[in-house]
A and B are shown apart, each in its own frame.
Chain A
Amino acid sequence: MPRLVSHPDEVKVVSKRFGQGAADIEKYIELGGYEAIRKCLAQGPEWLIEEMKASNLRGRGGAGFPTGMKWSFVPKQSAKPKYVLINGDESEPGTCKDHLIFLHDPHSVIEGTIIAGLAIGSKMGFIYLRGEYRYLLEIMEKAVADAYAKGFLGKNIFGTDTEFQIITQSGAGAYEVGEESALMESLEGKRGVPRIKPPFPAVVGLYGGPTVINNAETIATVPHVINMGGAAFAAVGSPRNGGTRLFGISGHVERPGVYELPMGYNLKKMIYEVAGGVRGGRNLKAVVPGGSSTPVLLPEEIETLGMDFDQVGKAGSMLGSGGVVVIDDQTCIVEFALRTISFYQHESCGWCIPCREGTDWLKKSLTRFHAGFGTAKDIDNIRYLAENMMGRTFCPLGDAAAMPTLGFVKKFRKEFEDHLDGKPCPFAKHGAPELTVV
């Protein structure tokens, strides 16, 4: 069972029911669950979309798009059925927040999904979990069945004439399916390759109908927004970044874990106070602030950095999925860059050539480089390759692979240069990796 952590600076909104047995529907109700949807049914969709807009809640999957605005883009009239699709394909390295939501508070996901359905006039929602999360899917399936038994889902939810159905779905191993259009393809029983946009999912989505796609954390936050009121939720965070966020702090810290902190919380404090500092009293070398696809930050860049979408963006990186990966001074950045690109090379679906070829070439270059067979020209070639992947693919996976690579090369050029001329990696514990592909 994943360990739960706690720190006095935490503001527990989304995580307030963690560890309290709220996967049980009675317990969830006892803790104030299913109150928000009742309020929304009474007040109507216009009111609830306004509350969502006022809350400044932005998508927790990584892009940070305002949730209320996303919902308002769905056309009111549609010849085809409209759908709500919840993205629980959590796969970004460094990210494990949805894991805890499904485990401890599955009904908040269900309640949020019903509210989203009400907002856009949809009668059906899907909750898609990655295939590896089988035990969490079983928890979700039980929660959905319990909600049906209570009349919270079905033809006449909460005794009204509103209909809403929820279907749970399992993936089968694919990072790419976390991209929204690939997610729809997978749910339609196909290979998870991305679709070209436009049309955007709000117009042509799942089965061709208008579709809202929300991250699991976003949707679990929705009932809390309604309960607190949009303005009160917004007040918890920083300007244009409402509320709190589940930050997953991993890597070289004393107390790794998922901590819920207000948006805009200082990154340095997050590492040194909340997570107990760098493990073993070592020095901080770098931080990946929002999952493996976000460009690395140096210690001097986090001094006054507030963790919200705008501030991290301004610092040249991204808040992404909120997965903070902390790297100490005994870590080889070339090896770290190689492990990162190996992941994207493995996960590239192969649909777009710049991504398929680019990730493969980058992996080969970095493998050779880390083995001590690099040349000075390789450093520029790695940069050139990554720069030419940016913005040239259907979905953001190409960018997700190129961005961190560029960051490593730009900020740690010296360390790349130290690997030159057949010198083995200065940090390698097991010696330089075997050179298998050139």
Chain B
Amino acid sequence: MTAETMSIFSPKVSARFDALVEKYPVRRSALVPMLLYAQDEIGYLSDAVIAEVARRIGITELDVRNVATYYSMLRFKPAGKYNVQVCTNISCMLRGAYDVFEKFQDELRVGHKGVTPDGVFSLEEVECIGACCWAPAIQVNYDFHDDLTPDSVPGILAQYRQKSEGQKNA
């Protein structure tokens, strides 16, 4: 059996990884982005993800774990379908980020790194996301939302909840 047929990833992501390892002068350079793209598809770095990434790059699983644990976006257990990341660093803090973070905690009834029981949302307090001039800012997965107040929180959550329902019914 070839590596492709044994893949835990979708054919699209699998093909992307085949190309990714050939892209650099050194195969291993694909490791960090590959882990992130793998997480985007599977939800977290499961044992199976680590094993397949290790095999694709040609390094040990321990080596993959050693690198993966360094990067703060990579996680080893599932997050919500929509991971709400609230920046509370200085520029955001000065413009009320902690009030926004508090509002998210109230609305979702989870704290930092918590996942809602239905698995739709998770919440995280994060460091600077590079949106300081449009503070306070958050990211939901990779989408930015700028210039927030606690009042904008319910609307943002409703938007993603709707998206989630839509996908369920589709």
- Interface residues in chain A, defined as those with a beta carbon under 8 Å from any beta carbon in chain B: 2-3, 81, 90-96, 98-99, 124, 130-135, 167, 169-175, 186-192, 207, 248-252, 256-258, 288, 292, 323, 325-328, 331, 336, 339-340, 343, 346-347, 349, 430
Q: Quick check: is B129 within 8 A (CB to CB) of the other chain?
A: yes
Name the A residues within 8 Å of B146 (CB-CB).
2-3
B55 at the interface (CB under 8 A from A): no
Which bucket holds chain B's interface residue count? 35 or more
Q: Do residues A93 and B128 form an inter-chain contact, with CB atoms below 8 A?
A: yes
Shortest CB-to-CB span from B78 to chain A, Å, is 17
Query: Of B35, B98, B132, which one neighbours A250 at CB under 8 angstroms?
Result: B132
Asked, given contacts A2-B131, A3-B134, A186-B32, whether A336 binds B90 with beta carbons under 8 Å apart, the answer is yes
* Proximity bits, B26-46, A CB within 8 Å = 1, else 0: 101111110110000000000
B71 touches A327 (CB 8 A): no
A-B contacts at CB below 8 angstroms, number: 152
**CB-CB < 8 A to A249: which residues of B?**
133
| 0/1 interface trace, chain B 129-170, chain A, CB 8 Å (1 if under) | 111111100010011101100000000000000000000000
Query: Cβ of A258: which chain B residues have Cβ within 8 Å of it?
Result: 133
Q: Does the CB pair A292–B71 fall under 8 Å?
A: no
Residues of A contacting B88 in the complex (Cβ-Cβ under 8 angstroms): 339
Question: Which residues of chain B have a CB within 8 Å of any CB of chain A?
Answer: 23-26, 28-33, 35-36, 57, 66-67, 70-74, 88-91, 93-95, 98, 127-135, 139, 142-144, 146-147
Partner of A174, one of B26, B28, B72, B144: B72
Interchain CA distance A433-B139 in the complex, whole Å: 25
**Of the candidates B24, B73, B144, B147, which one forms a contact with A172 in the assembled complex, judged by CB atoms under 8 Å apart?**
B73
Of all A-B residue pairs in the complex, the 8 with the closest CB atoms, nearest first, are A173-B73, A189-B31, A189-B28, A173-B72, A172-B71, A250-B91, A134-B142, A191-B70
- By a CB distance below 8 angstroms, the chain A residues around B135 are 250-251, 256
Q: Measured between C-beta atoms, what is the minimum distance from A390 to chain B in Å?
A: 21
Complex Cα–Cα for A285 and B132 (A): 19
Q: Given A189-B29, A251-B90, A251-B91: A172 and B130 within 8 A (CB)? A: no
Q: Assuming A96-B131, A191-B66, A248-B132, is B74 touching A172 (CB within 8 A)?
A: yes
Judge whether A124 and B25 touch: CB under 8 Å.
yes
Residues of B within 8 A of A252 (CB): 94-95
